[in-house]
Amino acid sequence: MTVTPDRESPEQLRERVAGLLAASRARSTALTEAVDEADLVAQHSPLMSPLVWDLAHIGSQEELWLVRDVGGREPLRPEIDGLYDAFQHSRASRVSLPLLTPAEARGYVAEVRDKALDALHRSPLRGRRLEEGGFAFGMIVQHEQQHDETMLATHQLRAGAPVLHAPPPPPGRALPVAEVLVPGGAFEQGTSTEPWALDNERPAHTVHVPAFWIDTAPVTNAAYAAFVDAGGYDDPRWWSEAGWAHRTAAGLVAPQFWERDGAGWHRRRFGVTAPLVPDEPVVHVCFHEAAAYARWAGRRLPTEAEWEKAARFDPATGRTRRYPWGDADPTPEHANLGQRHLQPAPVGAYPAGASPLGVHQLVGDVWEWCDSGFEPYPGFAMFPYPEYSEVFFGGDYRILRGGSFGTDPAALRGTFRNWDHPVRRQIFSGFRCARDAVMGDVA
């Protein structure tokens, strides 16, 4: 679960937090033990840190917040703080730092965890804002799971034989319609009640969104391949000025990891090359690619407010839900999350996760690009540190929503906001399209 029930006792909360901490560490361990020491310390891409840096950084943040702050203990290894400060060193430069060895990193994170669990045992989990409802512990659970998804992306970039394995997702099914009309009007965006929501998700506020149409599913490999095969990457009409400049400079010809094989396409995923699955959501496209496809298709990307309204608004009651399916936490029947599968699921695979309007797979499978920048909500208040959100507001960042197959439920909510540069595509990013409604449109 990712929310503290109203009547949850401190003992129940401690048990739940301990379980989430253990689950996140088990995932970190599996991702780092799947490869040998040479792979752990290697730079698999200048866009990514060495896996061993991610592991020790996870421990460093846990020590900072749970051991030193909540636990009130002296620093364990203050001399390494700077090595694992993400703002001091770019990802490309981290491989050249005097990092902890894999054995040292494993020993460090284990020592930190022991003391963090002691802090959990001693914390009242109430009163002080950082500890109220277990917030600091939830923040660290989310941080580790976010880095686990980052490490999963690094695994996708590494060369060599496959080392990660998972069962395939459930089969897809045909959806009754390709798009649905979202009625115009006000809805409540963001949250003021989720105890572990981060500062950029707060506060809840009313937003008026005109009526619009949105796809019932993310854009698929088959649909995107039609754009590629129609010469979409060679026609500047479909691209913004910035997008065309990037496409040209980067030499983009198809989504990352696609390879043409004769008349068709294959994709490489975690060391395995296989034909594209036609009804699987396209993944590893940047914002510029998504926007170009949308223009080619005579559509556009949804704004962040449109995406969230489609995902959370219940027109029958007028209320805003926690998730598309309701207020219950995600289960394997609702969405493709938590690295249970190593790929997006085909369209229609999760009917239980659909929104009241019939929009599918808004949560899990692929992060969905939105045509909105990363800005604070009205009434934003920084907490607990500016480097989580505040320093990123503005600039060229574009919003991504909904999570991916590599996102853990503990690190995702209907209000969760992700952001990245519009040229990034090593992340598990896809998209769906939208279009304006016109007077007289009916569902």
Residue 235 buriedness (CB in 10 A; 0-12 / 13-18 / 19+): middle
What's the pLDDT tens digit per position in 314-325? Answer: 999 999 999 999
Could you identify the residue written with the tokens 């636990």? Answer: 71
pLDDT at 197 over 70: yes
Residue 443 has a pLDDT of: 65
What's the pLDDT tens digit per position in 380-434? Answer: 999 999 989 999 999 999 999 999 999 999 999 999 999 999 999 999 999 999 9
Contacts of 317 (CB under 8 A, 6+ apart): none
Angle between helix 135-157 and helix 10-33 axes, rounded to 10 deg? 20
Residue 7 has a pLDDT of: 72
Residue 3 has a pLDDT of: 41
Dmax over CA atoms of the chain, in Å, equals 66
Rounded mean pLDDT of 283-291?
Answer: 98
Cα 359 from Cα 357, distance rounded (Å):
6
pLDDT at 167 over 50: yes
List, as one string, the DSSP characters of 174-198. --S-SEEEEPPEEEEES-SS-TT--
With residue 214 as reference, give the H or E element that holds it: strand 212-215
Query: pLDDT over 70 for what percent of the chain?
Result: 98
Residue 240 buriedness (CB in 10 A; 0-12 / 13-18 / 19+): middle
Report all structural domains of the chain as residue ranges with CATH numbers, in order of start. Answer: 10-157 (1.20.120.450), 168-443 (3.90.1580.10)
As a whole number, the mean pLDDT across the chain is 95
Length of the chain measured in residues: 443
Residue 6 has a pLDDT of: 58
pLDDT at 190 over 70: yes
Cα separations in angstroms, 186 against 47, 170, 182, 189, 316: 39, 36, 11, 9, 14
What's the pLDDT tens digit per position in 347-368? Answer: 999 999 999 999 999 999 999 9
Q: Could you tell me the two tokens for 433?
A: 């399209």
Residue 1 has a pLDDT of: 41
Cα 71 from Cα 340, distance rounded (Å):
33
Would you say 399 and 372 are in contact if contact means Cβ atoms under 8 Å apart? Answer: yes
Residue 441 has a pLDDT of: 67
Contacts of 68 (CB under 8 A, 6+ apart): 74, 75
Residue 281 has a pLDDT of: 98
pLDDT at 4 over 80: no
Would you say 39 and 158 are in contact if contact means Cβ atoms under 8 Å apart? Answer: yes
Rounded mean pLDDT of 169-195?
Answer: 96
pLDDT at 309 over 70: yes
Q: Is the dihedral of CA 268, 349, 434, 295 positive or negative?
A: positive
Cα 83 from Cα 155, distance rounded (Å):
22
